[in-house]
Structure 1
Amino acid sequence: MSAMRRIERVGFVGLGAMGSGIARRIMDAGHCLTGWNRTKAKAEDLLAAGMGWADTPREVAEQCDVVFTMLTNTAAIEANAHGEDGLIAGLRPGSVWADLSTIAPDTSVALGEAVASTGAFYLDTPVSGSPATLAAGQMSVMVGGDRAAYDHVEQLLHAIGPKVTYIGPNGHAILTKVAINLSLVVSVTAFAEAVTLVEKAGVDRAAVVDAALKSVIASPVIGYRAPLLVDDDEVYADVELQQKDLVLAQELARRLGAMVPTCSAASEMLSAARSSDLADRDFLVSVADVYRRAAGVIR
């Protein structure tokens, strides 16, 4: 495989809420950036700040030494990876594609093999956190793939967040992210259940949230999500997006013959929450709505 290219220009495909925030941090770190998004209007602020524009994912890859992608799911990554205008068609020997998305582990491994055939390098680099975590400079990044390719882009990854961990071969970072998000969704769902239980008993919901934020369960995710039960003013991930990660865990468990009972229970609650009138809100708010209606706290 070819030697890696000196990093002169960085590309970014997928400029939604999280992608645009990461792209901004890369630019703020002093890197020249070229971007593409299906809806160009979402990139207006970045373009005004000096980001270059490419008309297709392929053009991003052709122009850049390192390309990041941050897309919704496995289907979106595959749609932008393959074909005449896809990323793989534009990769050059020695360039690096780092995918920040959370996708099916098997797909990530297959993409690594396809990219290797071009002489380029593929890294699965899923992130853990939210736009709030990103804005606070506390995003974490996990990396799977060629160790030399990781070493090559490590400082660039630190522009995204201070906590960067090399996990192992292609696919292993995605597997780790699936495990982390399984735990995240289960814990947040359990929090909604617990708050509803004591609210039904007459305890003030705002007081419960305040106490929880001062207790041993005040993890980072509870820290920024719990206040949404009092003031629903932010959407970090809606129920459909968050359930995708549980489905990945369930599919992996079926394939491996492993048990994930709490994952399955949480996924059932998220399925119910998809029918909530608040399904477009953060998934904690949607799940809490289901629990509260079932308990008769609200009607």
Structure 2
Amino acid sequence: MKVGFLGLGDMGQAIVPRLFAAGHTVTGWNRTKQKAAPLLQRGILWADSPREVARGSEIVFSIVTDSAAVRALALGENGVIAGLRKDAVYLDMSTIDPDGSRAVAAEFAKAGLTMLDAPISGTTLTIGQGQAALMVAGDKAAFERVQAVLLAIGPKVTFIGAQGLAVQLKVALNMTLVIEVIGFCEGVALAEKGGVPREVAVEAFLKSVVASPVLSYRAPLILEGHSSDATYGNVNLQQKDMRLALDLGRKMGVPVPLGAAANEMLNACRGLGLAHHDFVAVYEVSPVSAGSSATKVGSTCRSASSLTRNPPVRTSCSSAGPFFLPARATTSIAIPTPTNFSSSFRAAASFTRTPAASLLSRAM
């Protein structure tokens, strides 16, 4: 089948080879052609615009960072909408605002064209291993026409329902993923503070009932010498998805206090200069882990200011461990601890009534 693919960044680089392996011909486009070089060497065909990709394709996929990027490549005179054939299907795999996705799909419907939201759950690692999961929403007949191609990308494909519901589910899923990983980091930090070697704690967690696919590949990143070696989803990217979840909770009137508290931990990571690290970097800012012997408390206290452009306004080298926040972040951080959980829970609940953009601005 002739497949078009828009967005040849890390995820696109992982997905396209699976389409090759299934025998599909792939034509691609990326805003920066240089990023497509590895795929060009492997045989992907190049087109100069999303319109040109769509014109020669039976199915067109896109995966980009946000709603603005989706609109830019999907709509307009050089967008997918200008080149897509009536019998073709456009699937956006991006994790974006559900309302934004529905708005783009509505433009396709007006033009008599078909768009599905089809976000993918997985990292470059799990996609390469053939373990990715896809969620699809929109016209079910169109889904059934493209299902075989989706199964070439990942073996777990689920039809969710009406337009926009797949990306809505993906936002909820990503929020849950962040909460799970942060909970794991706090648990390991607690064990380590009590004297359990970090490596032993990680091994025990991965053999216990809390083990999960996401922990299987992220857990080793908190071990010495590994935290900067791999990035499956950096702090900035995960916080983008957390912002979507907090906005969705606010719009729907659904309290997400754990999501809000997790978002504050990501704020703390950014404040410490860890924005481009995998988000397991929350281990490094945990008040518990910061006081453990393995984290070299003294050197952390001396070097934390060098990680930020703003001098820390709160430092402590007490038995509770050091915790650093840049000046503009301190007013919104609320991290549950055994002594302040109740107040933090109430504060976190209030965050769901505050636009997530303002939460982010407090730490910027």
TM-score by length of 1: 0.94
CA shift, 1:294, in A, is 7.2
1:252 matched to 2:245? The reply is: no
Partner SS for 2:126: helix
What corresponds to 2:348 in structure 1? none
Looking at structure 1, the residues matched to 113 and 14 of structure 2 have their Cα atoms a distance apart, in angstroms, of: 26
Partner AA of 2:38 in structure 1: D
Which of 6, 9, 16 lines up with 1:13 in the alignment? 6
* Counterpart Cα distance in 2 of 1:276 and 1:135: 32
The reply to whether residue 264 of structure 1 matches residue 260 of structure 2 is yes
Question: Equivalences for 1:27-66 in 2 at 5 Å?
Answer: 27-66=20-59
Q: Secondary structure at the match of 1:143?
A: strand
Within the alignment, does 1:125 sit opposite 2:121 as a pair? no
CA positional deviation for 1:277: 3.2
Query: 2:32 & 2:20 partners in 1: Cα distance?
Result: 20
Contact 1:12 1:60 in 2 (8 A): yes
Which one has a bigger Cα radius of gyration? 2
Q: Does 1:23 align with 2:16?
A: yes
Q: Sequence identity of aligned pairs in percent?
A: 51
Q: Distance in 2 between matches of 1:216 and 1:140?
A: 22
- Report the residue type matching 1:275 in the other structure: G
What's the counterpart of residue 215 of structure 2? 222
Q: Which residue of 2 aligns with 1:239?
A: 235
- Aligned partners of 1:31, 1:190: CA distance in 2, in Å? 41
Displacement after TM superposition at 1:46 (Å): 1.4
Q: Which amino acid aligns with 1:270?
A: L
AA partner of residue 84 (structure 1): E
Q: Deviations over 1:269-299 (max 9, x none)?
A: 1111112233321111x21111168733331
SS at match of 2:90: strand
Residues 2-21 of structure 1 deviation map (CA, whole Å, 9 limit, x = unaligned): xxxxxx41100001111111
* CA displacement 1:84-138 (0-9 Å, x = unmatched): 2222222221211001110100011111111112222101000111111111111
| Map of 1:135 onto structure 2 | 128
How far apart are the structure 1 equivalents of 2:166 and 2:188? Answer: 33
- Does the CA-based 8 Å contact 2:66-2:95 persist in structure 1? yes
Partner of 2:153: 160
Equivalent in 283, 286, 302 of residue 291 of structure 1: 286
Q: Does the residue aligned with 2:232 lie in a helix, a strand or coil?
A: coil
* Deviation readout 1:168-222 (Å, 9 max, x if unpaired): 0110111111121111010001111111222222221111111111111110001
Q: Is the 8 A contact 2:115 2:138 kept in 1?
A: yes
Amino acid across the alignment from 1:42: K
Deviation at 1:58, TM superposition (A): 1.4
Aligned match of 1:148 in 141, 144, 149?
A: 141
Where does structure 1 differ by over 4 angstroms across 4 or more consecutive aligned residues?
none
Give the TM-score taking structure 2 as reference length.
0.77
Distance 1:115 1:279 in 2: 36
Change in 2 beyond 3 A, CA 1:281/1:293: farther
Once the two structures are superposed, residues 64-85 of structure 1 have per-residue CA deviations (whole angstroms, 9 ceiling, x without a partner) of 1110001012221122222222
Q: Which runs of 5+ in 2 are unaligned?
A: 301-364
Work out which structure has the larger RCO, using CA pairs closer than 8 Å and 6 or more positions apart in sequence.
Answer: 1
Q: Find the aligned partners of 1:208 and 1:10 in 2 and give their Cα distance.
A: 45
Count of residues in correspondence between the two structures: 291
| C-alpha contact (below 8 Å) 2:67/2:96 kept by paired residues | yes
Find out whether 1:110 has 2:103 as its counterpart: yes
* Counterpart amino acid of residue 247 in structure 1: R
Name the CA distance, whole Å, in 1 between partners of 2:126 and 2:220.
15
Q: 1:207 to 1:294 in 2, by over 3 A?
A: closer
- Superposition RMSD on alpha carbons, in Å? 1.4
Which residue does the alignment assign to 2:361?
Answer: none
Would you say the 8 A contact 1:91–1:118 is kept in 2? Answer: no
